Amino acid sequence: MAKIKVLFSLLALGLAFASCDDNDDTPKYKDLELNISGLEDLGTDYVYEGWIIVDGTPVTTGRFSVDANGELSQESFSLDYEDVSNASTFVLTIEPSVGDDPAPSSVHILAGDFNGTSGSLSIEHAAALGNDYTTAAGKYILATPTDDLDTNENSGLWFLSLETGSPTVGLDLPTLPDGWKYEGWAVIDGTPVSTGTFTAFDVADDFNGFSGMNAGPPFPGEDFLENAPSGLTFPVDLESGVAVISIEPYPDNSAAPFLLKPLVGNIPSGAIDHTTYDMGQNLNFPTGTVSR
């Protein structure tokens, strides 16, 4: 009889513990809220993906797209309560929409540390591009060094300076992390045309498909002499156009400039070839907040 009483006592104790577990008030999920402006539509091949860093490990918060008006397809994400509560940093990446690796890509566009229940997001954070563009500067000239004619000199755009009398580096920009490249552009009659991508400012970029037969200078740039895109005619006078330096995700599936354009220069009407012109800063980068 005593054994039966002990057995019932142990059973009652076990039920008491189970009852305590069942009544645990700790929630299983917690919402993560994004409020981001300035992002753009990535098309069908790529999406944005958020990540929280928990004890040094990235945990996905979910994927979303952005429409032509900059509106996010999803701004609230229900996640594991402990993960959200213990997260130190939020990172936003660009990922392939199909066949993506489960780990974050190298293309980090925004990041921010949590300070209590929220954090501010920017490209300057070390987990994003990690660069401050407030000192960015650029210079360019018009010239066509890749042919032997002197009658079309306003049909070439080169990001260099002739202020000392000899060609020198024309761009003063931060070094980019993995996943990003700079790209030069000439906006011709409203159409942006690439001069090529690059990561260094004292070597030629990776494109010369519009240039002539001669070698170009060891700087980013392009002559617009042949193989004009549809709707344009080369050679072309670039005066009253626009010179642009963008920051592009790599790999890049778009033929248009990405939303990050730190330097822009309006090419003067009546621009003179072999004259050094300044570019201005254009620091309209995406920003936002993350809340938990």
Mean pLDDT value of segment 204-228: 98
pTM across the whole model: 0.90
pLDDT score for 4: 41
Exposure of 251 in the CB half-sphere (CA atoms within 13 A): 5
Q: pLDDT, tens digit, for every residue of 238-266?
A: 999 999 999 999 999 899 999 999 999 99
pLDDT of residue 24: 63
Q: Which pLDDT score, from 0 to 100, does residue 195 have? A: 98
- Which region holds residue 160: left if phi is over 0, alpha if psi is between -120 and 50, else beta? beta
Tens digit of pLDDT for each residue in 53-106?
A: 999 999 999 999 999 999 999 999 999 999 999 999 999 999 999 987 899 999
Mean of pLDDT over the chain: 92
CB neighbourhood size of 18 (10 A): 10
Residue ranges covered by each domain of the chain: 29-130, 137-285
Confidence (pLDDT) at 227: 98
β-bridge partners, 51: 60, 91
Give just the sign of the alpha carbon dihedral 201, 124, 53, 27. negative
- Region of 62 (left: φ > 0; alpha: ψ -120 to 50; beta: rest) is left
Are 49 and 60 within 8 A, CB to CB? yes
CA dihedral 108, 110, 111, 112 (to 10 degrees): 170
Torsion of CA 84, 88, 93, 98, to 10 degrees: -40
| pLDDT higher than threshold 50 for residue 197 | yes
* Rg (the chain; Cα; Å): 27
Q: How is residue 6 written in tokens? A: 């002990």
Are 87 and 114 a contacting pair, CB within 8 Å?
yes
